[in-house]
Amino acid sequence: MADQPLHTETAAEPGFGQWVKIRRHLHQYPELSGEEVETTAYIRARLEELGIRIADAFKLRTGLVAEVGGLRPGPVIAIRADIDALPVTEDTGLPYASAIPGSMHACGHDFHTAALIGTAHALKLREQELSGTVRLIFQPAEEKAKGAQQVVGSGALEGVAAIFGMHNKPDLPVGTIGIKEGPLMAAADGFVVQVRGKGTHAAVPEAGLDPIVAASHIVTALQSIVSRNVGSLQSAVVSVTKFNSGTIWNVVPELAVLEGTIRTFEEGVRRRVLDRFRQVVEGTAASFGTEAELRFIEGPPPVHNDAALAALGTQAAREAGYTAIVPVPSPAGEDFAVYQRHVPGLFVFMGTNGTEEWHHPGFNLDEAALPVSIAFFSRLAELALEQLAKGGEGL
């Protein structure tokens, strides 16, 4: 993944060709979660060319942490970008389309990474003026919801007073930034239900206990959880996405397996839905004489934005010359929420006027959003450091 050295531009110059170049290189050479070895090396090389110091004290197998500032005493804040790709075969026809079969930046993490490198450069140009330190987190394995916990385990959040991040948003125009206090993205939990009955010949079902019938009733009963257990002003999704059972047409099998996902925006609703889910599964299975074994796969918690930081983000967007809106929350999951369990955080949606929704093989975005992101996050970092240096007034 060798590349030519970057030329030096100031953040005020139009075009940002170097950030486009970085984004396209990353797009062409994607690496899956936990495998981002060459991606990490490429990011390191670009940062070193720009004079950004690498914080190697925070040990990560893939991904890295860097820092800008620290020349004047003050607080530490963090900005995070995710760097991993998806196991998707690209179908865009772009000249810089993925050169790695079965791997694609179909969620725009290449954009996030390029924007954070650009933000690091913009802040480096004003390093003497920074009232503290900006820690730059290039996080691996977001798509498997494991990377944020790895970063926390490395100690990279120690001493951090606030953390910021973004996700590109294809349905928002370039120049628009979605900023919302409170819940923005959902907790993303999974489930596996094994319904065990008693096999028999399909011609004599009374001699067995049919797990397919029991599992089918479970699927139907699960649909009542949201409508009868979640308030009208709250939100949740329960989706069964996989139903496997049987091997031949004339045998009632012993086992049926259901899989799917549960999405919620509030911890109280999350607990209520999970508890009710277990009751429905076990009770319905028992009513048919079968047994159900339920396993929850805990995903990231809800992304919940700090109100004061959301107000600061709105100010930064305005001062950078862009439009801040209150976006519709997304039921997708995001492990940025893990950081918010440790420090106050703000996660925003960056308008990219995309061609397709996230995770689509035809996904692409408007690179004109790169300078928007860089200007926004560099101004947000400056404002946050200034406010925190004053004792956190307004934060």
| 14 pLDDT more than 90 | no
Q: For 236-290, what is each residue's pLDDT tens digit?
A: 999 999 999 999 999 999 999 999 999 999 999 999 999 999 999 999 999 999 9
Q: How far apart are CA 236 and CA 69, in angstroms?
A: 42
Contact between 340 and 79 (Cβ < 8 Å): no
> Can you read off the two tokens belonging to residue 330?
């997304």
The mean pLDDT value of the chain amounts to 95
| 326 pLDDT more than 60 | yes
By C-alpha distance, which of 62, 50, 56 is closest to 19?
Answer: 50
Q: For 208-245, what is each residue's pLDDT tens digit?
A: 999 999 999 999 999 999 999 999 999 999 999 999 99
Q: For 337-388, what is each residue's pLDDT tens digit?
A: 999 999 999 999 999 999 899 999 999 999 999 999 999 999 999 999 999 9
Structural domains of the chain ordered from first start: 17-184+302-389 (3.40.630.10), 187-297 (3.30.70.360)
| 7 pLDDT more than 50 | no
Q: For 23-65, what is each residue's pLDDT tens digit?
A: 999 999 999 999 999 999 999 999 999 999 999 999 999 999 9
The one-character DSSP state at 51 is T
Q: For 177-201, what is each residue's pLDDT tens digit?
A: 999 999 999 999 999 999 999 999 9
Q: How far apart are CA 290 and CA 296, in angstroms?
A: 20
pLDDT recorded at residue 393:
62
Confidence band of 394 (pLDDT split at 50, 70, 90): low
In this structure, what are the phi and psi dihedrals at residue 90, rounded to the nearest 5 degrees? -70, 140
Residue 68 has a CB neighbour count (10 Å cut-off) of: 27
pTM score, two decimals?
A: 0.91
| 311 pLDDT more than 70 | yes
pLDDT recorded at residue 16:
76
> Can you read off the two tokens belonging to residue 310?
């959301």
Q: How far apart are CA 55 and CA 51, in angstroms?
A: 13
Provide mean pLDDT across the span 300-323.
97
